[in-house]
Amino acid sequence: KLFLASVSVVLIANRWNAPTFDPESLKGARVLVTGASTGIGEQMAYHYARFGAQIVITARREHVLKQVAERCLSLGAQKALYISADMSSESDPDKALSFALDQLGGLDYLVLNHIGPSPFSMWDGNVEHIRWIMKVNFFSYVKMAWKGLEALEKSKGSLVIVSSLLGKMASPFVAPYTSTKFALNGFFGSLQHELAMKNSNVSLTICTLGLIDTDNAMEKVKGKTDVPAYPAADAALSMIVAGATRQPEDYYPWFTFYVAATKDWFPSITRYTMRNSYTYEP
Ligand code: NDP
């Protein structure tokens, strides 16, 4: 009873604290979304477009970016530009950010969302893959955030970091991926404190997502888990609202907040649940 009472108090407090989102605030906003050729990033681009933002999108596949940019324009984006960039390269993260700053004349929202492909399987000892995925999923985020901070400071802008419940609790089959998400949470958690202590104008939102129904994620977990997947468009909107209302954190779906908050209360139950959420025949 005490547990249920505490959960209700937290739920009600969260609702009372929820700031109002004004869609007009995104009209004309200058936005860069990475990993926007497919999945959640693509859905974020469409939402920003409907709100009338000026968007730059980036990923590796130029022809797909072109189609997404065209759809953004048809949905109402004031501008929709794209640049192909490989985030494992030393120079492309800088190149994409400079392009957005030049084309948009500054930046109000920097949404770092891309991830490189990584297997969903037991770790096979491939250290090179971990080195590579760290470049794509972590180092490029750090580089782009640092390069974007000055412009965001000027515009009182927002940095949105797309992370995962797997950045807060480890799961089997995703050792390289979960490492990059823990790294993001550590780095940007620290940066969030520093920005607040410096009275910076920049708000930083760290987003914790559960399983989302993007093609790539569904393909990976097919036949391996019964954990429900939630819609990419809703995940995208939740993060956009959190960024626009300058929230330090966003959790989607809602219960990921409670999973993250309670995972250490009964560690053996958490371990048992994690290992039994997947089908595996040794
Ligand atoms: P997708 O795999 O659908 O999309 C990944 C995007 O990143 C694509 O646009 C892809 O485009 C781009 N990308 C891949 N490799 C590179 C590279 N080397 N350089 C630049 N861009 C690259 O991912 P999701 O939409 O599923 O996930 C989006 C975010 O949400 C990620 O941060 C992920 O960790 C997080 N998340 C997702 C969950 C899920 O269940 N889907 C759960 C929890 C968190 P291209 O191939 O054209 O380069």
Name the residue of 115, 132, 173, 277 to mutate for ligand 1: max ligand atoms within 8 A of Cβ: 115
- If residue 106 lies in a helix (H) or strand (E), which one and from where to where? none
Which residue has its alpha carbon closest to ligand 1 atom 44? 164
| Predicted local confidence at residue 16, as pLDDT | 58
Q: In what side-by-side order are the strands of the sheet with 54-59?
A: 79-84, 54-59, 30-34, 109-112, 158-164, 203-209, 249-252
| Predicted local confidence at residue 73, as pLDDT | 98
Cα of 60 from ligand 1 centre, angstroms: 11
109 is catalytic: no
Cα separation of 51 and 164, whole Å?
A: 25
Third-level CATH fold of 25-54+91-273: Rossmann fold (3.40.50)
N-term to C-term CA, the chain: 40
> In sequence order, what DSSP letters do the residues of 209-250 get, joined into one string?
E--B--HHHHHHHTTTB----B-HHHHHHHHHHHHHTT-SEE
| Predicted local confidence at residue 110, as pLDDT | 99
Residues in the chain predicted with pLDDT less than 70, given as ranges, are 1-17
| Predicted local confidence at residue 44, as pLDDT | 99
| Predicted local confidence at residue 19, as pLDDT | 83
Ligand 1 and 206: CB distance under 6 A: no
Cα of 46 from ligand 1 centre, angstroms: 16
Closest by CA to 56, choosing from 33, 24, 22, 88, is 33
| Predicted local confidence at residue 2, as pLDDT | 64
| Predicted local confidence at residue 96, as pLDDT | 98
| Predicted local confidence at residue 281, as pLDDT | 82
| Predicted local confidence at residue 11, as pLDDT | 58
Ligand 1 and 217: CB distance under 6 A: yes
Ligand 1 and 250: CB distance under 6 A: no
| Predicted local confidence at residue 164, as pLDDT | 98
* pLDDT single digits (tens) 187-242: 999 999 999 999 999 999 999 999 999 999 999 999 999 899 999 999 999 999 99
Ligand 1 and 140: CB distance under 6 A: no
* pLDDT single digits (tens) 31-56: 999 999 999 999 999 999 999 999 99
Using a 10 angstrom Cβ sphere, with 0-12 exposed, 13-18 middle and 19 or more buried, the burial of residue 191 is buried
Which residue has its alpha carbon closest to ligand 1 atom 32? 113
